[in-house]
Chain A
Amino acid sequence: MKKLMIMLIAVLVIVLALSLVSAKLTGSTTKAGAKTLTIYNWGDYIDPALIAKFEKQYGYRVVYQTFDSNEAMLTKIQQGGTSFDLVVPSDYMISKMRDEHLLLPINSKKVPNLKNIDSRFLNLSFDPANHYSVPYFWGTVGIVYNPKMLGGSKITSWNDLWNKKYRNQILLVDSAREIVGMGLNSLHYSVNDTNKKHLKQTLQKLKKLTPNIKAIVGDENKLLLPRREAAIGVLWSGDAVEIMDENPELTYVIPKEGSNVWFDNMAIPKGATNKKGAEQFINFMLDPKNAAKNAEYVGYATPNREAIRYLPKKIKNDKRFYPDKKLTDRLEVYDNFSKPVNARFNELFLEFKMNH
C-alpha cells in the first residue's frame, strides 16, 4: 500500500512539473510574442550568420523551423494553431495560398529595399503587384550533363535528349510537373498547356524517350550524377550547382525551347503574431550585402539586382545560373493548377512511368 502511495505521488509530481514547464514554454511565446520572430523555411536555405545578425540588430529572438515540400507547409498553415510569422512558398503555392486567404498583405512602405529587386522578377503572374510576396531565390529547370562521358558532344535543347546516341544515359527527376513540362516544351507548347490533345501528343513523345532513360529518381540524382552513373540529368538549377561542386566535369544548360523558371518567395501567413518583425526581416534580407551573403551561402540565384554587385565574379558572370533577359523571357512560371488538372498531369506521368 505504501509503495502504491509513493508511486502515485511520484506520478502526480511528474505531471505537475511537466505542466508547469509546458505552461512556461507556451507562456513565453505568447507573452513575449512581439519579441520573437518565427520563420518557416526550406531546410538549409539561409545563411545562419544572417539570422544572428538580424537578432542583434533588431533585438528579436528568431525561431527557425523547416519544411521539405510546399504541400507539407500548406497543410500545416491550413490546420492553424501555428504562429509562423514568415514562410517561403514557391510561386504556384503563393497564388494558391492567396486564393485560400492564407496570406496577409505586405505593407510595401515598410519594405523600402523592395526597390533592389530586379524588375524582371516583380509583378509576376502568381502575385501581380507583389501584394503578398517578395522573391527570395529563383532558378530554372534544365539539363545537367557530363560532356566528357558524351565524347564532347553538346546539349542545347530538350529535343537533343531524344538523340539515339544517348541510350540509357538519362536520369529524370521524379516530378510530374517538370517532366510533363519538358515534354510540352519539346513540342514547343507552354509548360502550362492543359489542352487534352496536346497532352496526349506529349505522352506519345515522352514514351519515345524511354530507351534513353536510365531511371527516374529523386534527390539521389545528386549522388548518382557526380559519380558518373549516368551522363545526363534533368533537374533544378539549384541541384545542378551542388552536383557541379562535387564534380566539375559536369555543366548545366537551360534548353533553348524554353523551360520553367521558379521562385521561392517570402510571405506573411495568416495568424502571424509579429507582422512588424516579419516586414523588418524581409527588408533586412533585401539589403544588397545581406542578400549577396545569403546567395553565396545557399548557391541559388538571387533576384536582388543590387546584391549581384557584391557577388564574386565567378558566380555573377555565370550565364547558366544568372541568365540574361533574352533567355529569361523564354522561361515560364508554373500556373497554379486546379486539383483535377493536377491529377491529370500526375496520371499522365504515372502512365509514362509505367511504360518506361
Chain B
Amino acid sequence: MTKKWTNTYLIPYVLWIGLFVVAPLAMVLYYSFFDIQGHFSFENYLRFFTPIYLKMAISSIGYAFFITFFTLLVAYPTAYLLTRMKNRRLWLMLIILPTWINILLKAYAFIGLLGTYGPVDTLLAMSGAGRRQILFTGSSFVFVSVYLFIPFMILPIYNSLEKLNSSFVEAAYDLGASAWATFRRVIFPLTLEGVKSGCQAVFIPALSLFMLTRLIAGNRVITLGTAIEEHFLVTQDWGMGSTIAVFLILAMVVVMALMGKGWLKRW
C-alpha cells in the first residue's frame, strides 16, 4: 500500500523530467542528424570539425576557463571573509542582490560604464594612463562575465566554508602550520566540494554565453553559443545548431566527470 502511494507521488516528477529534460535532449540529438535540406546525414558532425567551428570551440573553452579561473580567484577570498563577518546575512544578501537584475540590463549598464568618454575611460585618462579602448575587447568580456558569475561561485564556497569545523584549523595552527600551509593542507581540501560545484556553475554557462559576446565584446569573441543562436534564428539551420548543442552537452559531461572523479583530489 505504502509502496504504491510513493509511486503515485513520483508521477509529477517523472512527467516533469520526461517532458522538460529528456524529451528536449532527445530532440536536440534527433535534429542534429539532419542537414539543412532535411536529409538524414552525419554532415553536421563533419562540419563541426572544420577550422571555423574548431577554432570557435577552442576559443569558447579558453574564455570559459579564464572566466572560471578569475571568478574563483575573486570568489574564494570573498567567501572566506564573509564567514568572518558580523552581519553575514546582510552581506550575503548584498552579494545575491545583483542577480535579481536582468543580465541584459547589466550588460547595457556596462556599455555606458566602459565606453569611450564613459566614467572608467575618463578616470583612466585623469590618472594619466591615457584613453584606451576598453569596451569591445576580450578582456572587457572576461571582466563583465566574471562580474556576472561571482555570486554563483561565492554561494557554494561560502556554504562549504560554513560547514568547516573550525577545530581543524585550530589544530593545524597548534601543530605549528603556517597560515599558508593551513590553507593549502586543511581549509582548501575541506572546501573542495564547494569549489567544484562553483566551477561547474560558472564554466558550463560561460561556454555558451552569447548576448555578451556582442554587447560587450562587439563580436570580437565568438563562442559556440553565438553560433547556435545564429543557426536557429538567422540561417534556420536547426541541424547544425543542434549539433553544436550536442557538443556543448558532451563538454558538460566531461567537465562533470573530471570534477567528480578526481584530478583535483591530488591537491
Contacts and interface: CB of A to CB of B under 8 A. Distances in A.
B215 A343 contact: no
B48 to A, nearest CB: 12
Which of A224, A227, A228, A353 has the most chain B CB within a 10 Å cutoff?
A: A353
Interface stretch (B110-118, B156-164, B190-198): B110-118
Nearest to A230: B116
Contacts of A217: 214-215, 218-219
A214 B218 CA distance: 8
Given A224-B115, A228-B116, A339 B222 contact: no
Interface residues of A, number: 28
Interface stretch (B4-12, B88-96, B227-235, B258-266): B227-235
A128 B219 CA distance: 38
Interface string A191-227: 0000000000000000000000011111010011001
A168 B235 CA distance: 29
A215 B136 contact: yes
A354 B233 contact: no
A21 B249 CA distance: 44
A336 interface: no
Nearest to B234: A346
Contacts of B217: 215
Interface string A95-110: 0000000000000000
Contacts of A346: 230-231, 234-235, 237
For B136, B227, B233, the residue with the greatest tally of chain A CB atoms inside 10 Å of its CB is B136
Interface string B106-138: 001001000111000000000000000101100
B111 A224 contact: yes
Contacts of B220: 215, 356
A113 B237 CA distance: 41
B37 to A, nearest CB: 7
A291 interface: no
B236 A229 contact: no
A69 B233 contact: yes
B172 interface: no
B219 A353 contact: yes
11 contacts: A174-B214, A215-B136, A217-B218, A223-B111, A227-B116, A227-B117, A229-B115, A339-B236, A342-B235, A343-B36, A354-B56
Given A224-B111, A227-B115, A339-B36, 11 more contacts: A69-B233, A215-B135, A217-B218, A217-B219, A220-B214, A229-B115, A229-B116, A347-B52, A353-B222, A354-B52, A354-B56
Counting from the closest, the 8 A-B pairs by CB-CB distance are A215-B218, A216-B219, A215-B136, A346-B235, A343-B235, A339-B36, A353-B219, A343-B237
